[in-house]
Chains A and B, each alone.
Chain A
Amino acid sequence: MTVKILRKGLIAAALTVPGAALADVIQGGEKQATNWTAIVMFAVFVLGTLYITKWAASRTKSAADFYTAGGGITGFQNGLAIAGDYMSAASFLGISAAVMTTGYDGLIYSIGFLVGWPILTFLLAERLRNLGRFTFADVAAFRFAQAPVRIFAASGTLVVVAFYLIAQMVGAGSLIQLLFGLDYWIAVVIVGALMMIYVLFGGMTATTWVQIIKACLLLGGASFMAFMVMWRYGFSPEAMFADAVRIKTEIATASGKTAEEAAVAGQSIMGPGTFIKDPISAISFGMALMFGTAGLPHILMRFFTVPSAKEARKSVMWATGWIGYFYLLTFIIGFGAIAFVLTNPEFLDGTGALVGGSNMAAVHLAHAVGGNVFLGFISAVAFATILAVVAGLTLSGASAVSHDLYATVIKNGNPAPGSELRVSRITTIVLGIVAVVLGIAFKNQNIAFMVSLAFAVAASANFPVLFMSVLWKDCTTRGAVVGGFLGLISSVVLTVLSPSVWEATLGNPAGSAPFPYTSPALFSMTLAFLGIWLVSKMDNGARARIDRAGFLAQQVRSETGIGAAQASSH
């Protein structure tokens, strides 16, 4: 072995617990020899983005500039930025690794992440843009008593951001020590420091451009890899699949299976495997991914960066297109990894497993199809990817604290001039430090559940409140707050009681989890919607009358955009 790496045995864990794929595959793996090509390329990316941050800083003067880049982003740019926000390193490395290991199951998994976008487009995107200014709480609290709804929305935002952020930081540390040969803690500190610089000085403008650049690099790199794989097979999918089945059959034969068993194992990558077990888990997990997409605060916030509802609509169209294209690429990359990586002894250790863990599938493939320089490029892109995602998350968390809690709840909507911006910058620093500390604290913890928990909370707390407040005339403040918190608490509690935390993280024996399903969304979302409906129906207080009376004006503005905040301050 030329490259000395110890595995931590998380190989193939990817899809045994659905939802585990994301974080599971990006953990594990020890320090690698310092990769100078990758470091130089990453340094170029950092210098470029810091230069953009300097330019963005000169344009970031007001709170509107900080939160929404002054509303001057076009639909096309915003679509790329949304895609850049959404395509995390975990989905690039995790899904291609899952495809390499399990074949078809990786495709089922990635489809779940795509299908929420049309729903968001059809029901919410334009209305969000017409009603809100900086955060999704602006929309959810539009006609309600501000303080309680904002406190709820800020809680929902911070819980989602916290879990998503920890998952990204731990992933960043493990991945970077693997790809760059840097120590785990150094990697985490670099990510935290750069993210703070982008957000602090450049606000949404810098964050958006970091996301756009990263999306272009990632889409370009992934397109090249998929092209090289298809080229080898003369652009015939059948030839590629046939080769992959042949290789998987050979591997199964080598592991001591009979010819018949090996043939079945080989062909199994072409159909669904163990990912979808029972219908309830399947539906519940699908709901978390689908409606979670429409409740992620850092994604919703991106709709306020465009000048109109029309541009908001265009941004989701572009985002959906790019993300769908990206998942098609990762599927080809996963199959390419079977052919190029699993057959090359250079990438395998003594037991036939991948050097560095199965999460390295796409990285090794980059080496195989593009040599050392392209390997460095893909490693640098993976680092850049994490930076773009954490910057978006931090900005969203900071705006929940400064805009929703400080300016609206504490200062009753009348903060002293400049103080809101100051609070959001202080919050950015605090969040950055907390993220670094938690990233280091959670090293070696099983955090596989965190991304799916973030989606479950977004689907069960943020989405129902947003949906009902915008579309149901009888919704009241009390209903929204009670139902929202029911969804928030139940999704967290049920996740803790589910196998992925109860057994995998807390170490209880297999089969002992009180909540047997993969995802809580089916139950917690239902609970949230029922809570909102029932409490609103029973609510006949004075506030409830104001809430209901406000619906007509809200609807007019949500449909037409007349009176909508002109996010642009220029």
Chain B
Amino acid sequence: MEEELVERIVRDPNYQALKERRTRYGWVLTIAMLVVYYGYVLLIAFDKELLAARIGSGVMTWGIPLGFGVIIFTIIITGIYLRRANSEFDDLSEKIRREALK
């Protein structure tokens, strides 16, 4: 890419907004995922009894909804990112593209 084009894009406020917002959002969600997964793993490592404890009178334990919860969370958090990226980030990208290739 020519330097002149790069500089023009870098000066575009839309580009700065896209870069900052997407990077921050990406990191926030990454940290959320890390906390959930390693929280789950450390919970098992340090307190197996907690997950093996029964919820009610049946055989169901806290571990089952918690484990399924991590799987569902993984899918949902990906969906949450996608929603914002598909609307806000894609709109910004489109504006930058139109501005840069004018």
Complex CA distance for A278 and B18, rounded to whole angstroms:
42
Proximity string of chain A (223-267) to chain B, C-beta cutoff 8 Å, 1 when within and 0 when not: 000000000000001100110010000000000000000000001
Complex CA distance for A283 and B64, rounded to whole angstroms:
21
Q: Which of A327, A556, A560 contacts B71 (CB 8 A)?
A: A327
Proximity string of chain A (418-429) to chain B, C-beta cutoff 8 Å, 1 when within and 0 when not: 000000000000
Q: In angstroms, how far is the closest chain B Cβ from the Cβ of A336?
A: 15
**Is B58 touching A562 in the complex (CB atoms < 8 A)?**
no
Known contacts: A242-B59, A282-B45. The answer to whether A310 contacts B78 by CB under 8 A is no
**Is A283 touching B59 in the complex (CB atoms < 8 A)?**
no
Q: In angstroms, how far is the closest chain A Cβ from the Cβ of B25?
A: 8
**Is A552 touching B10 in the complex (CB atoms < 8 A)?**
yes
Main secondary structure of the interface of A (DSSP, over half): helix
- Chain B residues 13 to 51 lying within 8 A of chain A, measured CB to CB, are 15, 18-19, 22, 25-27, 29-30, 33-34, 37-38, 40-42, 44-46, 48-49, 51
- Chain A residues 99 to 157 lying within 8 A of chain B, measured CB to CB, are 104, 107-108, 111, 114-115, 117-119, 121-123, 126
Known contacts: A118-B81, A560-B9. The answer to whether A270 contacts B52 by CB under 8 A is yes
Q: In angstroms, how far is the closest chain B Cβ from the Cβ of A419?
A: 28
Known contacts: A241-B64, A556-B1. The answer to whether A310 contacts B40 by CB under 8 A is no
Residues of chain A within 8 A (CB-CB) of B15 are: 556, 559-560
A276 CB within 8 Å of chain B: yes
- Number of residues on chain A facing chain B (CB within 8 A): 51
Q: Which of A117, A271, A282 contacts B42 (CB 8 A)?
A: A282
Most buried by A among B1, B3, B101: B1
Interface size, B (range): 35 or more
Known contacts: A324-B72, A556-B6. The answer to whether A238 contacts B58 by CB under 8 A is yes
**Is A276 touching B41 in the complex (CB atoms < 8 A)?**
yes
Complex CA distance for A282 and B47, rounded to whole angstroms:
13
Q: Which of B51, B60, B75 contacts A324 (CB 8 A)?
A: B75
**Is A111 touching B59 in the complex (CB atoms < 8 A)?**
no
Residues of chain B within 8 A (CB-CB) of A316 are: 78
22 CB-based A-B contacts, threshold 8 Å:
A104-B67, A111-B70, A115-B37, A115-B70, A121-B78, A122-B33, A241-B58, A245-B59, A267-B52, A267-B59, A270-B54, A270-B64, A272-B51, A276-B44, A276-B45, A282-B42, A283-B41, A286-B38, A290-B37, A320-B78, A328-B68, A556-B15
- By Cβ-Cβ distance, the 6 closest A-B pairs, closest first, are A271-B52, A122-B26, A279-B45, A563-B1, A270-B61, A115-B37
Residues of A within 8 A of B (CB): 104, 107-108, 111, 114-115, 117-119, 121-123, 126, 237-238, 241-242, 245, 267-268, 270-272, 276, 278-279, 282-283, 286, 290, 309-310, 313-314, 316-317, 320-321, 324, 327-328, 552-553, 555-557, 559-563
